[in-house]
Amino acid sequence: MAHRNRPLSPFMLGTLYRLQMTSVLSLMHRVTGIVASVGAFGLAWWLLAVAEGGEAYATASAYLGSTLGMVALAAFTFSLVYHLLNGIRHLMWDAGWGFELPEVYRSGYVVIVLSVVLTAAIWFVALRGAA
């Protein structure tokens, strides 16, 4: 039996396997799902603090208003937007639309650009309203 030099697994990145946009978007969809799930606990914590009022709300506001809190909120916002848009993209695939390779790449770029633009728009409106 001849021994061939070929990769054993697609997870062997580098010279053996070239990372593709489709695999990156798939990984991002999973990561944003996890971030959105963790962020939901943060949202629940904030809602409980609002309901309790007083000191609990001041503590939650201090954490969420800090630099680290704002970064976490921005990551949560981006993850919700990206996960929603990529989920719509997957629903379109389930309906049989956009499954050819050029369309897959084009819709991937659209999801990335729209995720960044919509996240920035949400933050622009939120920060403008807070001022």
Q: Residues forming the annotated binding site? A: 83
DSSP 113-127: HHHHHHHHHHHHHHH
Binding residues for heme: 83
Task: Identify which of 75, 110, 77, 117 has the alpha carbon closest to the alpha carbon of residue 92.
Answer: 110
Separation CA 108–CA 19 (nearest Å): 15
Residue 3 has which token pair?
């021994």
